[in-house]
């Protein structure tokens, strides 16, 4: 898994360097360099990989999609990112009863940004909410954040923003999970 992250970081850094170099060679001006598609905010050497890591925060390269809102998650750099995962899920605020379990219908679809190779996700949903059908005696209703029935577990990569598109009345939330290094044995039966 570390090799894949190393590959992504190396590809990102080399594309940044080649774009900046070709941009400055073509026009020879500082303005041309500032118009490069990717603008790194920071370049650091990661001691685990001994290669530069680039944090890319220019979201203008991601397309604007009709009827969808672009959400970005910026992850902080960690020493061993391979032991972390990011769970992304969608929520919708809606008035619901107090006794049933409610879920937002929808699914995450992975897409790759053409010309760059960066991943992004689209939460496809008709914003319909389903629930269990228990009879609630008190008939109390409250506004709750109803989570999506499906979540997406993705690799933790701080060098790239995690971009998710969703319908306008849907919020995107995330949790960070850490792998327990302790191995456990399954019981045979």
- Quick one: average pLDDT of 135-160? 89
Per the model's pLDDT, the better-predicted residue between 180 and 109 turns out to be 109
pLDDT at 33: 34
Q: How many domains does the chain have?
A: 2
Segments forming the whole domain that contains residue 7 = 1-56
pLDDT in tens, 110-133: 999 998 889 999 999 998 999 898
- Is the model's pLDDT at 60 over the cut of 70? yes
Domain presence at residue 184: no
> Residues 139, 119: one domain?
yes
Question: Do the Cβ atoms of 121 and 165 come closer than 8 Å?
Answer: yes
Output the pLDDT for position 42. Answer: 42
**Does residue 141 register a pLDDT over 70?**
yes
Beta bridge partners of 86: 154, 176
Query: What integer pLDDT is reported at residue 133 of this predicted model?
Result: 86
Q: Which of 56, 75, 101 is the last residue of a domain?
A: 56
User: In terms of pLDDT, which residue wins out, 159 or 29?
Assistant: 159
Q: What is the pLDDT of residue 99?
A: 85
Same domain as 144, residue 88: yes
- pTM metric for this prediction: 0.66
Q: Place 164 in a pLDDT band, splitting at 50, 70 and 90.
A: very high
Q: Are residues 112 and 167 in the same domain?
A: yes
Residues 67, 16, single domain; the answer is no
The answer to whether residues 148 and 64 belong to one domain is: yes
Give the DSSP per-residue string, 48-108.
TTTEEEEEE--GGGSPP-TTEEEEEE-PPP-TTGGGEEEEEEEEEEEEEESSS-EEE--EE
* Cα separation, 91 vs 166, whole angstroms: 10
Residue 187 within any structural domain of the chain: no
Compute the mean pLDDT over every residue in the chain, rounded to the nearest whole number.
78
């Amino acid at each position: 898994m570390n090799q894949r992250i190393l590959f992504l970081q190396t590809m990102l850094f080399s594309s940044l360097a080649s774009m900046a170099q070709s941009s400055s060679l073509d026009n020879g001006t500082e303005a041309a360099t500032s118009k490069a598609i990717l603008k790194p905010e920071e370049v650091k050497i990661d001691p685990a990989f001994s290669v530069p890591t680039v944090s890319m925060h220019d979201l203008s390269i991601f397309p604007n999609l009709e009827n969808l809102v672009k959400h970005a998650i910026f992850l902080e750099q960690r020493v061993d990112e391979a032991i972390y995962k990011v769970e992304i899920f969608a929520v919708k605020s809606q008035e619901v009863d107090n006794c049933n379990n409610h879920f937002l219908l929808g699914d995450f679809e992975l897409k790759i940004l053409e010309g760059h190779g960066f991943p992004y996700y689209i939460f496809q949903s008709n914003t319909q909410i389903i629930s269990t059908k228990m009879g609630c005696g008190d008939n109390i209703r409250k506004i709750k954040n109803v989570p999506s029935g499906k979540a997406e577990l993705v690799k933790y990569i701080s060098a790239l923003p995690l971009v998710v598109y969703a319908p306008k009345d849907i919020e995107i939330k995330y949790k960070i999970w850490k792998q327990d290094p302790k191995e456990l044995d399954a019981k045979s039966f």
